[in-house]
Amino acid sequence: MTEPSPSSKPFLRALKGEAVVPPPCWLMRQAGRYLPEYRQVRATANGFLDLCYSPGKATEVTLQPLRRYGFDAAILFSDILVVPHALGQAVTFREGEGPCLEPVRLAKDFAGLTLSGLQGRLRPVFETVKLLSAAIPPSTALIGFAGAPWTVATYMVEGGSSKDFVETKKMAYGQPELFGRLIDLLVDASAEYLIAQIDNGAEALQLFDSWAGALPEDQFARWVIEPTRRLVERIKQARPGIPVIGFPRGAGALYLPFVEQTGVDAVSLDTGIPLDWAVKTLQPKVTLQGNLDPVMLIAGGAALDSAIERILSICSKGPFIFNLGHGILPSTPPENVARLIEKVKAWS
């Protein structure tokens, strides 16, 4: 059998600006704890990072949702926090508690961070990309990813998850030169990381900026738009033609300057973005992706059906990829995901 050309993959066609009917569909966190087969593999790993760094297991959990649901894209199984880990920061995931990092707060904390070990530490992730590239069905696209510099920096400075980002904002607002050094390092590291993913078989990239919505307008321009623009420019100079999806979650009206200024090919819309506005304002410039509320997928039933139909009817006349507004939650019933994909595939 001959390989179909990449352009015959519906997901990549949509990223090139085509209105594909029915729209391609994948879901953020489509591999994860809502699937019993994921929990089974997860239990064999010596912690979450070990799972990310075990190419055989990471490949298996990436493929699990494809087998069940036939999504149009697979997303590499890894985490945004492997980049700080590869830079030399201590990173652990405690069971049930989320990530824990040795905080970077002062100039002296930067001493331990270096790009020199990055390729070596992340080699297992590149190996996973290579295995996936050979294993996925011919019509399925492979997405590589990284956290955007701002979001990764919040974990590095806070030392884990945060609600108010006080330490990170204090550094960004009060010592912008110091914070700028961290952001610059993350632009360099992420560019290297993403280019290596492309070289091992990733066909598109997504940049997760989960906490973009925490910044006021001028700071958003400086710490979200500008580093993302530089990162996209670096990737496109090195490997022209690879589409990039941005996800500045919570950015509200700032989605527009983000789209206009970063050079991304597509934006992932969070659940709060008004779709009529996005179709009118953003879709003439980029492909849209999104934005079903992940909790609708838990609620199921008639509410789920009508939420899916509403999104499809508003967004699918232009370039569009069906997705959630944020990641699948662990309590999601797998049968509701089956219902979702069935409804999207039946759209005409």
CB of 326 to ligand 1CP, least distance (A): 6
CB of 146 to ligand 1CP, least distance (A): 9
C-alpha–C-alpha distance, residues 128 and 51, integer Å: 11
Residue 93 or 220: which CB sits closer to ligand 1CP?
93
Residue 73 or 344: which CB sits closer to ligand 1CP?
73
Q: Which amino acid is at 171?
A: M
CB of 48 to ligand 1CP, least distance (A): 4
Tokens of 114: 């270096």
Residue 318 or 321: which CB sits closer to ligand 1CP?
321
Residue 176 or 334: which CB sits closer to ligand 1CP?
334
Binding positions for ligand 1CP, rule: CB under 6 A:
28-33, 42, 48, 75, 77, 79-81, 98-99, 145, 161, 208, 210, 327
Q: Which amino acid is at 190?
A: S
CB of 77 to ligand 1CP, least distance (A): 5
C-alpha–C-alpha distance, residues 145 and 190, integer Å: 9
- The total number of residues shown for the chain amounts to 348
- What's the CA angle centered on 244, arms 337 and 125, to 5 degrees? 75
Tokens of 305: 């059906």
Say which residues have a Cβ less than 8 Å from residue 343's Cβ, sequence separation at least 6: 305, 308, 309
C-alpha–C-alpha distance, residues 78 and 258, integer Å: 25
Q: Annotated catalytic sites, by residue?
A: 29, 33, 42, 79, 155
CB atoms within 10 A of CB 2: 5
